[in-house]
Amino acid sequence: TTHRLNNSELTRQLHRYEETGQGDSFSILRYLKDDIPALVVAVLLAGGVAYFNTLIPLALGNLTTALNSLNSFSHGSFLNTIRHPALQLLKYYCLHSVGTALYISVLSGIGERFASRVRLALFRSLVFRDAAFYDTHKVGELINRLTGDVQEVKSSLKQIISLGIRNTVQFTGSCISLYTISPSLTALLCCSAVFLTSLGSLLGSLLRSASRHAQDQVAVSTSIAEEVLGNLTTVKSFAMEEEEVAKYGNSLEAAAAAYSRLGLGIGLFTAGSALATNGMVLQTLFYGGYLLSSGQVGAGDLMAFLASSQIVQRSLQNMSLLISQVVKGTTAAARVMQYLDENTGRSPGEVILSPVGDISFRGVSFSYPSRPEVAVLENFNLDIRPGQTVALCGASGAGKTTVGALLERFYDPKEGSILFDEKSISELDTKWLRGSCLGYIGQEPVLFATTIKENIRYGVPRASDAEIEEVARAANAHNFISEFPEGYDTMVGERGTTLSGGQKQRIAIARALLKNPSVLILDEATSALDASSEKVVSEALQKLCTDRTVIVIAHRLSTVRDADCIVVLNKGKIEEKGTHGDLMAMEGAYFHLVRNQTDVSEGRAGT
């Protein structure tokens, strides 16, 4: 169920994305702390490079003066005359190059270490967030912050240090050179530079809005393609292919037109700035030539002036690029910092017991933080003694899975308390509670893209191969695993063997069994399976259930008949509670559920 974004909606979304960062951008700099010495080195090197860059025009000027003096004097002393200025120029060239190589390598080291520190901190902060956070955030967007945004911050940081320092030093140095060479030429240059720069920035902002418009057009056509290809069956079943192709074609035309206009603008702008730069050279030569002819400056000075003014111009250009980079970088940093909070989540609790498996829900009321107005559980009370099996049943959406999620402390109840072995679970160490007391098997087992063995070992990294085989046997999984050519080393999932639902579920059972939890939550663990795999998996589950407290959530009631207590949930409230016999005798909700289901299955068997 997607819907097409129209143009204004899309632009709004794009802008919202731009605005989402709310973190403090500059506090990201604390991840540079460990690199301060390297940073100082990089700054000094960049400053040095810039310093030599401002000396080069002056050395060029000296060489020109020497060459100029050659013409009017003897030819014999050529080498003698130019040796000193030429060697000086060579020295500056070499120092400039060596410095450049050094500062770039130091800086990229700083950048990479910074990026990995930020990524690790952000990843840690995301991994430790609680379930409520992920109810309201898209994983794709978070991944984007982890990759693209960190990358953006890193490159901005590098640019600010390298371009920022170099261009500031070069700009200042070259301006001083210009002024010392000829104040009047400098004044002329300033006037035309100010005029051209303001003209340029005006045209630049026009170009930027044209570019945004073109990008929006492309986004529109992309969203059309995405929607059509994603819902191709529906498009085909209405025979709308031609219409969609035409629609896509129109959007492409609009995008192409926008980009052509942008291209024309960029072309004219580039040509115009080249003309302006060259014009300024000509202007300097013209007025400088006049000063030369009237003996106010020498040829060497004019050469040095021209070269320095080129540096000033390039520095200005780079600094304007730098400003947009700073904007991009701080926005990206804000987006990264928004989720980079080092103490996330609730207090984890500290108490560790030797688990027995006694559970009490006392007057628990709950609504999901993302939908606080909907009461999911209301005054839920349930006592489960060690070793008992309690079944939760009721319609879909009644709140059964929520009971399990609260016991695992994925969320905290709004009212009431949940006790595990007579301690409130909020006081218990969550790592211990989830890691070794509770085992959860859901409807859709999640396996990782690694070997079967590592999947079973997940959660108990120190388990031996023998222990893994033992739990796999208990979970009825050993037989099918050993039939694979690579046995326990078979890769699962992507680029590995695709397992059937029943096989995956048995691996998940083995994984839970290895943890040997004192409480087991089975949330419709067999409901996604076909009849024959349901049978094997149920057998495996039965073995898993002995000697533990079990909460079994089921909509197929045949599986809960033997439970010590059956709870019927209806819209978050307990409707009935008792054994199968009690509830059947009452002829209430449970009785009707059972009767409906047997009718349905008999009806199905009949057809």
- For ligand ADP, the binding residues (CB under 6 A) are 135, 368, 370-371, 376, 396-402
Nearest-approach distance from CB 217 to ligand ADP, in angstroms: 36
Please, which residues bridge with residue 578 across strands? 566
Nearest-approach distance from CB 486 to Mg ion, in angstroms: 35
User: Phi first, then psi: what are they for 546, rounded to 5°?
Assistant: -70, 145
Q: What, of ligand ADP, Mg ion, none, does residue 465 touch, CB below 5 to 8 Å by kind?
A: none
Of 166, 190, 186, the residue nearest 304 (C-alpha):
186
Closer Cβ to Mg ion, 224 or 521, answer by number:
521
What is the distance between the alpha carbons of residues 581 and 596, in angstroms, rounded to a whole number?
17
Q: What b/e string do you get for 92-108 counting C-beta neighbours within 10 Å, with b at 16 or more?
A: beebbeebbebbbebbe
Instruction: Give the DSSP letter of residue 28.
Output: G
Q: Strand 573-578's sheet: what is its strand order?
A: 438-441, 519-523, 549-553, 389-393, 565-570, 573-578
What is the distance between the alpha carbons of residues 145 and 151, in angstroms, rounded to a whole number?
9
Helix 531-545 and helix 465-474: axis angle, to 10°? 120
Q: What, of ligand ADP, Mg ion, none, does residue 25 touch, CB below 5 to 8 Å by kind?
A: none
Nearest-approach distance from CB 134 to Mg ion, in angstroms: 17
Nearest-approach distance from CB 589 to Mg ion, in angstroms: 18
Q: What, of Mg ion, ligand ADP, none, does residue 368 touch, CB below 5 to 8 Å by kind?
A: ligand ADP
Structure token pair of residue 228: 């059509």
Nearest-approach distance from CB 571 to ligand ADP, in angstroms: 8
Nearest-approach distance from CB 370 to ligand ADP, in angstroms: 5
Nearest-approach distance from CB 236 to ligand ADP, in angstroms: 32
Instruction: Give the DSSP letter of residue 499.
Output: P
CA distances for 369 relative to 2, 32, 131, 417, angstroms: 25, 36, 10, 17
Closer Cβ to ligand ADP, 234 or 570, answer by number:
570
Nearest-approach distance from CB 416 to Mg ion, in angstroms: 21
Residues 427-466 that bind Mg ion (CB under 5 A): none
Q: Total number of residues binding Mg ion (CB under 5 A)?
A: 1
CB 577 within 8 A of CB 392: no
What is the distance between the alpha carbons of residues 502 and 497, in angstroms, rounded to a whole number?
14
Residues 387-416 that bind Mg ion (CB under 5 A): 401
Closer Cβ to ligand ADP, 141 or 547, answer by number:
141
Closer Cβ to ligand ADP, 392 or 519, answer by number:
392
What is the distance between the alpha carbons of residues 225 and 231, in angstroms, rounded to a whole number?
10
Q: What, of ligand ADP, Mg ion, none, does residue 399 touch, CB below 5 to 8 Å by kind?
A: ligand ADP
Closer Cβ to ligand ADP, 473 or 571, answer by number:
571
Residue whose Cβ sits closest to Mg ion: 401
Q: What, of ligand ADP, Mg ion, none, does residue 370 touch, CB below 5 to 8 Å by kind?
A: ligand ADP
Nearest-approach distance from CB 268 to ligand ADP, in angstroms: 54
Instruction: Give the DSSP letter of residue 495.
Output: T
Q: What, of ligand ADP, Mg ion, none, does residue 397 touch, CB below 5 to 8 Å by kind?
A: ligand ADP
Q: What, of Mg ion, ligand ADP, none, does residue 432 touch, CB below 5 to 8 Å by kind?
A: none
Closer Cβ to ligand ADP, 333 or 392, answer by number:
392
CB 393 within 8 A of CB 592: no
* Residue type present at position 325: Q
Q: What, of Mg ion, ligand ADP, none, does residue 51 touch, CB below 5 to 8 Å by kind?
A: none
CB 548 within 8 A of CB 519: yes
**Sign of the CA dihedral with 158 first, then 163, 169, and 172 last:** negative
Closer Cβ to ligand ADP, 293 or 396, answer by number:
396
Q: What, of ligand ADP, Mg ion, none, does residue 201 touch, CB below 5 to 8 Å by kind?
A: none
Closer Cβ to ligand ADP, 7 or 365, answer by number:
365
CB 416 within 8 A of CB 579: no
- Which residues form the interface with Mg ion (CB under 5 A)? 401
